[in-house]
Amino acid sequence: CHFLRLRLDGTGLLFYFYAVSLFYNPTGSQGQFPITQNVTVVEGGTANMTCRVDYNDNTSLQWSNPAQQTLFFGDKKALRDHRIELVRATSQELTIRINDVSLSDEGQYTCSLFTMPVKTTKAFLTVLVPSRPEITGFTKPAMEGDEITLTCTTSGSKPAANIRWFRNDKEVQGTTEVNATGKSFTVRSSLLFQVDKRDDGVAYTCSVEHVSLYKPYMTTEVLEVHYAPQLEITHSLIIPQEGQYFKLECVSIGNPIPEPVLWSKDGGELPDIERMIVEGRELTITTLNKTDNGTYRCEASNHMGTSFAEYILFVYGGY
């Protein structure tokens, strides 16, 4: 009916159809909501926040932060923060960039389309925070038999980091606790064990795994364990014979290195210092004879104790 009445009025006819098109167009700005996406970024990185509409009749777009402070209204910057900059502003898109993102930037951001009424869509900015580990609780050197605790701590991670322990290349299990402080977490993992000489020079590594890391953060503590000497005498001939050149060596292990090495024969001093020459850990008898038969002892000390080893020499007759 209305169409027939207005058919003769060219101006009215055009206006009528224009008005109906604006009101009922399902893709018009009046009937749509902005399109956004949640963003995840590692602390210190860059976050691009994009807001789009499929259709816009010159209605403004706006980004605001979790505190509802306006960041950009169209291409106009509203908040004085040098880290936030405009990437793209058109009638259908508003993209902003947040540089050097910190944990305080995390939260729900709002994109607003200024129709009547205003349409809003939320986008959540998630900030991942890795944290480097630190090993504490060990004071070098440890003494053999001591019970020590190694504690690996990573503070300020988000979400909570995962800690793994390795003894050299073999994984060992620690006791872990997680504490939340605001949005971030402190994770501690401890190893409690008694040390012996086998732990001297062993590397204990704390490995921190986090969703934001391509490779784990690692820190290593190399143990130094002091222990008493252990001695052994090696000899140069299996069957010593008269007239031969013969050498004994006092092989020692210990930390600190046991010094000096003292040689004796049958509980007393070496009887022939011209033929029996001591150089460091070695005792050399230049020409063996039957009088050299007996028990030879080497002795060495460090602050952890004293140890000795003995060798019984029997000189066979020459051919």
40-63 pLDDT, tens digit per residue, is 999 999 999 999 998 877 788 999
pLDDT tens per residue, range 64-98:
999 999 999 999 999 989 999 999 999 899 999 99
* Spatial distance between the Cα atoms of 24 and 6, rounded to a whole number of angstroms: 20
Residues 75, 51, single domain; the answer is yes
- Structure tokens that stand for 17 in this block: 């159809």
SS3 106: coil
* Spatial distance between the Cα atoms of 161 and 158, rounded to a whole number of angstroms: 7
Of 204, 223, 242, which residue sits at a domain end?
Answer: 223
Assess whether pLDDT exceeds 60 at residue 151: yes
Residues 212, 239, single domain; the answer is no
pLDDT confidence of residue 31: 65
Residues 308, 255, single domain; the answer is yes
Residues 107, 175, single domain; the answer is no
Of 128, 150, 180, which residue sits at a domain end?
Answer: 128
Q: Is residue 18 part of a domain?
A: no
| CA proximity to 319, closest of 238, 235, 243 | 243
- CA atoms within a 13 Å half-sphere pointing along the CA-CB vector of 93: 9
Q: Is the dihedral of CA 98, 102, 105, 108 positive or negative?
A: positive
Q: Is residue 23 part of a domain?
A: no
Of 173, 194, 223, which residue sits at a domain end?
Answer: 223
Residues 54, 93, single domain; the answer is yes
Q: Is residue 13 part of a domain?
A: no
Residues 39, 56, single domain; the answer is yes
Q: Is residue 319 part of a domain?
A: no
* Spatial distance between the Cα atoms of 191 and 207, rounded to a whole number of angstroms: 13
Domains identified in the chain, total number: 3
Residues 156, 117, single domain; the answer is no
Residues 122, 72, single domain; the answer is yes
Q: Is residue 53 part of a domain?
A: yes
Q: Is residue 271 part of a domain?
A: yes
pLDDT confidence of residue 3: 32
User: By residue range, what is the domain housing residue 75?
Assistant: 34-128
Residue burial 52-90, b: 16+ Cβ < 10 Å; e: rest: bbeebeebbbbbbbeeeeebbbbeeeeeeeeebebeebe
pLDDT tens per residue, range 198-218:
999 999 999 999 999 989 999
Cα separations (Å) of 292 from 122, 212, 234, 243?
96, 72, 17, 11
Q: Which whole number is the average pLDDT over 269-273?
A: 91
Cα 127-100-98 angle, rounded to 5 deg = 80
Residues 234, 217, single domain; the answer is no
Residues 205, 262, single domain; the answer is no
Residues 112, 159, single domain; the answer is no
Residues 211, 232, single domain; the answer is no
Q: Is residue 135 part of a domain?
A: no
| CA proximity to 189, closest of 142, 137, 140, 144 | 137
pLDDT tens per residue, range 1-11:
333 333 333 33
Q: Is residue 235 part of a domain?
A: yes
| CA proximity to 235, closest of 300, 312, 317 | 312
Band of the pLDDT at 108, cuts 50, 70, 90?
very high
Q: Specify the CATH number for the domain of residue 171.
A: 2.60.40.10
